[in-house]
Structure 1
Amino acid sequence: MSVRRATHGGSWYSDSPEELRKQLDNWLNAADLTHGPARAIIAPHAGYQYSGACSGFAYRQVSAVVVRRIFILGPSHHVRLGGCALSTATKYCTPLYDLRVDVKVNADLDATGHFEWMDMSVDEDEHSIEMHLPYVAKVMEDYKDSFTIVPVLVGSLTPDKESVYGSIFSQYLADPQNLFVISSDFCHWGHRFRYTYYDRSWGDIFQAITYLDKMGMDIIESLDPQAFTAYLKKYGNTICGRHPIGVLLQAVNSLQKSGSNGHRMCLKFLKYAQSSQCNNMNDSSVSYAAGALTIE
């Protein structure tokens, strides 16, 4: 049995089960169930002191009684990857309890010929998937023995590849027992991120960042993958999970094209936050957004 350790516990989030549970409870209780049951959520992956409260708005929309499998799509921060990679681990540790990896779904995905496998060192270095595990463990706590996870590391995909992966995942998205967690922060602004786009007509810097992010969020809500690609090309907004988001939009697109029993799909953003307020060109910030997709 191959176990992935909780390598960011104790630094990016609390490794004390009591403290972590209390914190997650507080954040979930502060959010309202307004757009659920979610079939997919978009939530950030920064340290919990920055983004934990924002994530609560996405996880609040999850109906644990329905969900039996959770796909977690996170961007690769440390290795160059032209496609998507699966985990060799059979268990992922969290301070609350261990999560079981769905080895059968991994085998099915591998059989498509479109996935590679990540080394355990790559898996344990990456935070974009791990930062969702405590939240997953918390919302699924009453059903901890009856669900599995499918962690997927998403590389720098071309629009065509996003479409390929979207069509592969669409069959899973169609199943109400599956939940997709899309891991993404929004604008990384400042010299340290090599991104300082600023349109003064949009107000102060922090207001301009908000405007830029909201424009992207509106396009994501429209569920139009081509429009999202065009937006990224035009503004270069540093949304680190743009490829996982692109894959989700393509999966939705693929479902719509298949005329999937006239399902109504609706994606809404429920919360937006920034790590700090940028007022001059030497400041920096990271933006966070929480959204949920419902399928009726």
Structure 2
Amino acid sequence: MARKPVAAGMFYEDDFSELDKQIITCFEEGTGSLPASKKDKDIKGIIAPHAGYAFSGKCQAWAYKEVGEAEMPSVYIVLGTNHSGIGGTCTLIEDFEMPFGKVKVDKEFAKSMIGKSINENKEAHSKEHSIEVQLPFLQFVNKDRLKEVMIVPILVRHGEDYERLAKDIVNTAKQLDRKIIVIASSDFTHYGISYAYIPFTDNVNKKVHEMDKKAIEFLEKMDAFSFIEYVNTNQMTVCGAYAIAAAVETCKLLGGEKGKLLRYYTSGDVTGDYGNSVGYGAILFK
């Protein structure tokens, strides 16, 4: 059995050739070029958004250019947002069926994590798009070794003990002799009546930018605690805040020293609708 896609045809194209064109366009209009063929960068992880590619794809391209130019790891740890809350922090022991072909789950790694800080929950993963939306980009930048792409999908609940989760991930990687790169899937501030979040009504786009950029400053310093404190104090609607925090802590344990904001904008910057908008950030950890 493999998990069937739930976002294909909505968040991204469901046809192989159309999806390929869509992602190429995201790179051309985002970073300006496709990832270089030389794969020698040493990166620890990234944060990438998970909205429809028409909105956040150009931002995703910035993060995946770094992934595509890095040495391919044994496995990618993909930390998603558990939007439904079902199952808490959970993994899936099933491969992902995708338009570009199947993405394999490192089942040994995932099973080794179960019973520590995570459990397995098929229902949560069957309805959640945040991990799935990362996979076409991940496959695209690994075209030359497509069948070797392996992931461990983990949906992270709000309020998760992110330090414990990070330690469990790194310890498992060491025990199984896996080189890993971490991918956190999250958008930033969701503003407007659609998201029940209207902390201000004037200079909206400017203030959303400022609020998100302040949160991102903590991430660039790899300060997960202050990031979470800032998000919670301001009641920010950062859907994957704890997935982000877990990614930061994991990257630190892997030897990461700093984060770098590669690109940030809001959906309002794309559509012109600032009354309801979502922030997107591409961040690199190395």
> If the TM-score is normalised by the length of the shorter chain, which range does it land in?
0.7 to 0.9
2:110 pairs with 1:115: no
> Unpaired segments of 5 or more residues in structure 2?
none
Cα shift at 1:267:
1.0
Distance 2:142 2:263 in 1: 22
2:167 pairs with 1:164: no
What letter corresponds to residue 232 of structure 1 in structure 2? V
2:254 pairs with 1:272: no
Q: Map of 1:1-296 to 2, 5 A cutoff?
A: 2-29=1-28, 30-31=30-31, 36-62=41-67, 63=69, 65-82=71-88, 84-89=89-94, 91-110=95-114, 112-119=115-122, 121-158=123-160, 161-171=161-171, 177-198=179-200, 204-253=203-252, 255=253, 263=255, 265-276=257-268, 283-294=275-286
Cα shift at 1:284:
0.9
**Closer/same/farther in 2, CA of residues 101 and 191 from structure 1, 3 Å limit:** same
Moved over 6 A (4+): 32-35, 172-176
Distance 2:61 2:228 in 1: 27
Cα shift at 1:97:
1.3
What letter corresponds to residue 237 of structure 2 in structure 1? T
CA contact (8 A) 2:81 2:155 kept: yes
TM-score with structure 1 setting the length: 0.85
CA contact (8 A) 2:263 2:282 kept: yes
**3-state SS in 2 of match to 1:166:** helix
What does the per-residue CA deviation read over 1:245-290, in whole Å, with 9 as the maximum and x for residues that have no partner? 111223245x2xxxx7xx4522111001111159xx9911011011
**3-state SS in 1 of match to 2:85:** coil
CA contact (8 A) 1:74 1:129 kept: yes
CA contact (8 A) 2:75 2:178 kept: no
CA RMSD after TM alignment:
2.6
CA contact (8 A) 1:173 1:180 kept: no
CA contact (8 A) 2:76 2:181 kept: yes
**Closer/same/farther in 2, CA of residues 198 and 65 from structure 1, 3 Å limit:** same
Distance 2:173 2:230 in 1: 25
Distance 1:221 1:163 in 2: 17
Comparing 191-200 and 232-241, the one that deviates more: 191-200
CA contact (8 A) 1:39 1:293 kept: yes
Cα shift at 1:92:
0.6
Cα shift at 1:172:
6.3
Residues matched between the structures, number? 276
CA contact (8 A) 2:117 2:168 kept: no
> Unpaired segments of 5 or more residues in structure 1?
none
**3-state SS in 2 of match to 1:9:** coil
